[in-house]
Amino acid sequence: MKIAVVGGGIAGLAFALALHKRGLTCDVFEAAPEVKELGVGITLLPHAMRELDALGLTDSLLALAIENRESVFFNRWGQYVFSEPRGRHAGYDLPELGIHRGKLHGVLWQAAMQRLGAHRLHTAHRCVGISRGASGVRLQFDNGQEVQADIVVACDGVNSLIRRQLVPDDRVCYAGINTWRGVTVHKPILTGQSYIRIGSIDTGKMVIYPIVDNVDGQGNQLINWVAELRDPAKPMNDWNRPGRADDILPIFDGWRYDWLDVPALIAGAQQIFEYPMVDKDPLNRWGDGPITLMGDAAHPMYPRGSNGSAQALIDARTLADELAAAPDEPEQALRRYEAARIAATARVVQTNRTLPPDFIIMKADELSGGQPFASIDDLISQDELRAISDNYKQIAGFALKP
């Protein structure tokens, strides 16, 4: 069985490693001419770490990441709303990690190089066409090469060419929420292992967490931050473009607390990217015959709750299991994989739109009228806030107790 994986990102590499673990081989075709450490931060939640641990990558990731101790919520006035322990500190078997996305990709790439062999990883192969024939599937690449395969798994991201061929009228959904993401060298914030959310998208929201410890030898960390703001009148900007601190500093003017100066964090950024918060409506099917989708190509979702990578990793393991269980019936294996994953990922897409983790702050703002309060306990109990958090974990698939 010749399996072609289009896209050498998190989903594609995890799938290749999962196949190798089960005694199956594949070829991975990556559009980039070389693998570089790109991007900013990513959080690996317990269900993501479960999949990565099964691939034997936990120690490699721990050496490059920061283990989250807690998740903490504040309103835009810097007032405490809710907190909870995370990862091993919450009783999970595995840690929750904050890590540079490029370092995660590097760990996956090096593992694939070592286990599959360099001859299975093909860079500078951007897929520009796909067609089916009697002998299987033919892939065309922008370098002029063509490849025949029995099975094609599209892991080529939110702008997947293969998805566009399967769903010609496919469109991204933009709800008028713009985001800016940056990284700043900064002293540790709170515990130095805190995942922090401040404010809400209606008045300005910040998500802040460290991804590299002692980055400068002086005890400072590399802090990943994301700024979000709802602006229904704003048209969708370019897909991903350089951002400017001056564009967002007015939103967060005055956000200075005794534990953090938000404007200073933004102004000190090494780099800033601006991009719209988009997803796509869930599909009823991911494939046709010997072709299927995986990861962001299958179910792009709002970057809330750190769930995109986790769902891609679960996709990878699920399809590898199905193909290993029925190598003589690969198309049936693809359909079983889709049946197992389409509804589950659709629930996460919809929840990220309507009841994301930061709904905790949105609820606090609703009850306080968006104004400072004497104590959050006067408005809502910690048990009620915990129930909001637990509901999201249940839907996303990483509840401590099912």
The CATH code of the domain that includes 255 is: 3.30.9.30
Residue type, 185: V
What pLDDT score does 402 carry? 57
Q: Is residue 377 part of a domain?
A: yes
Confidence band (pLDDT; 50, 70, 90) for 134? confident
Answer whether 0.85 is exceeded by the pTM: yes
Q: Is residue 26 part of a domain?
A: yes
pLDDT above 80: residue 309: yes
Q: Is residue 38 part of a domain?
A: yes
Same structural domain, 17 and 126: yes
Same structural domain, 189 and 257: yes
Average pLDDT over residues 239-261: 93
Domain span at residue 193? Answer: 174-280+355-396
Condensed to tens digits (0 to 9), the pLDDT of residues 326-372 reads: 999 999 999 999 999 999 999 999 988 887 878 899 999 999 999 99
Same structural domain, 147 and 232: no
pLDDT above 90: residue 232: no
- The DSSP H or E segment spanning 162 is helix 161-166
Domain total of the chain: 2
400 CB-contact burial (10 Å; exposed 0-12 / middle 13-18 / buried 19+)? exposed
CATH of residue 162: 3.50.50.60
The DSSP-derived string for 69-111 is -EEEEE-TT--EEEEEE-GGGGT-SS--EEEEHHHHHHHHHHH
Same structural domain, 202 and 255: yes
Same structural domain, 372 and 386: yes
Average pLDDT over residues 257-271: 96
What pLDDT score does 241 carry? 86
pLDDT above 70: residue 106: yes
Average pLDDT over residues 89-93: 95
What pLDDT score does 175 carry? 85
What pLDDT score does 341 carry? 97
pLDDT above 90: residue 133: no
Same structural domain, 161 and 127: yes
What pLDDT score does 104 carry? 96
Q: For residues 241 and 343, which has the higher predicted lDDT (pLDDT)? A: 343
**Mean pLDDT score of the chain:** 94
Same structural domain, 148 and 36: yes
Assigned token pair, 189: 């914030």
Torsion of CA 38, 42, 46, 51, to 10 degrees: -20
pLDDT above 90: residue 82: yes
The DSSP-derived string for 285-335 is -S-BTTEEE-GGGT----S-TT-HHHHHHHHHHHHHHHHHH-TT-HHHHHH
- Name which of 99-103, 118-122, 124-128, 231-235 the model is least confident about: 231-235
Radius of gyration for the alpha carbons in the chain, expressed in angstroms and rounded:
21
What pLDDT score does 215 carry? 93
Q: For residues 300 and 356, which has the higher predicted lDDT (pLDDT)? A: 300
Q: Is residue 77 part of a domain?
A: no
What pLDDT score does 39 carry? 73
